[in-house]
Amino acid sequence: MAFVQHQPQANRDAVLSSVVSQGELGTWEDVKNARSTRKAKIGVHKIIFHEGDEARSLYELVSGAAMLYKLLPDGRRQVVEVLGPGDLFGFDVAGRHGSSAETLISTEVMVYCRREIEDSIGAQSHVARCALHQVGAMHDHAVLLGRKSAYERVATFLMRFLQDPQARERKSQQPQARRVGRVSLHMTRQEMADYLGLTIETVSRVISDMKRKQVIYLEKHDKIVVSDIGALFQLTGAYPD
């Protein structure tokens, strides 16, 4: 990430925070330890906030998984983001949440006070880094939604949520070796469909087809094992013929 100062980052923030007038916090760690910051445990499929709600807090997902989604008046839904540990969310412009947030599984979040963030220098730069990362992810997702076929969408989805990140890196380097990977699906077919801009039936059909072609198989109803990562990667569309 381009904005990260590799070695001296924490150092500089420490220097700065010592200068900032009393009451103001300097580093992201300071905000984490602020008295107004608290941790919350949230059950499965609970709504954290609704689209349109007043945005009072900033959230950080500590463990678990959640999604952000938007609704059209007639009920169509688009899941705009899938969140994992370390992701920030709820920091919307204009004081109102632009999307709803709902947990996918049991989840822990840190809840930060908005003012605290605004006053903190370290927090600003941490937020900037996260937001830039999200913009990049959204760009990729726009390509998926705008230009990829159903098959490519599901393949891209599976690649993205592969458990072992190393496996993803080595994906193209050893095209001959059939590498195996695992995906824990914390999402229902409906949620996947709303994320990928498809219908539940199409998602189901593509997954069935991948099973038939031995690219993946199911394990325990909510885990997908990718039996050939290379083959799956070929299907994402991100690879020349």
Partner DNA sequence: CGGGAGGTTGATCACCATCAACAACCGTGG
Partner DNA sequence: CCACGGTTGTTGATGGTGATCAACCTCCCG
From 41, 50, 139, 213, residue interacting with a copy of itself (rule: CB under 8 A): 139
* CA proximity to 90, closest of 121, 132, 61: 61
The least distance separating DNA from the CB of residue 221, rounded to whole angstroms, comes to: 4
The helix (run of H) or strand (run of E) holding residue 217 is strand 216-219
Rounded Cα–Cα distance for residues 143 and 160 (Å): 14
From 108, 160, 197, 202, residue interacting with a copy of itself (rule: CB under 8 A): 197
Q: Cα 82 to the chain's mean position, in Å?
A: 4
Looking at residue 224, its amino acid is I
Q: Which residues bind DNA (CB under 7 A)?
A: 149-151, 188-190, 197-205, 207-208, 218, 221
> Could you say which of DNA, a copy of itself, none residue 134 binds, taking C-beta under 5 to 8 angstroms by partner kind?
a copy of itself
- Which of residues 81 and 102 has its CB atom nearest to a copy of itself in the complex? 81
Phi then psi dihedrals of residue 16, to 5 deg:
-60, -45
Looking at residue 75, its amino acid is G
> Could you say which of DNA, a copy of itself, none residue 40 binds, taking C-beta under 5 to 8 angstroms by partner kind?
none
- Structure tokens of 236? 């994402």
The least distance separating DNA from the CB of residue 111, rounded to whole angstroms, comes to: 27
> Could you say which of DNA, a copy of itself, none residue 205 binds, taking C-beta under 5 to 8 angstroms by partner kind?
DNA
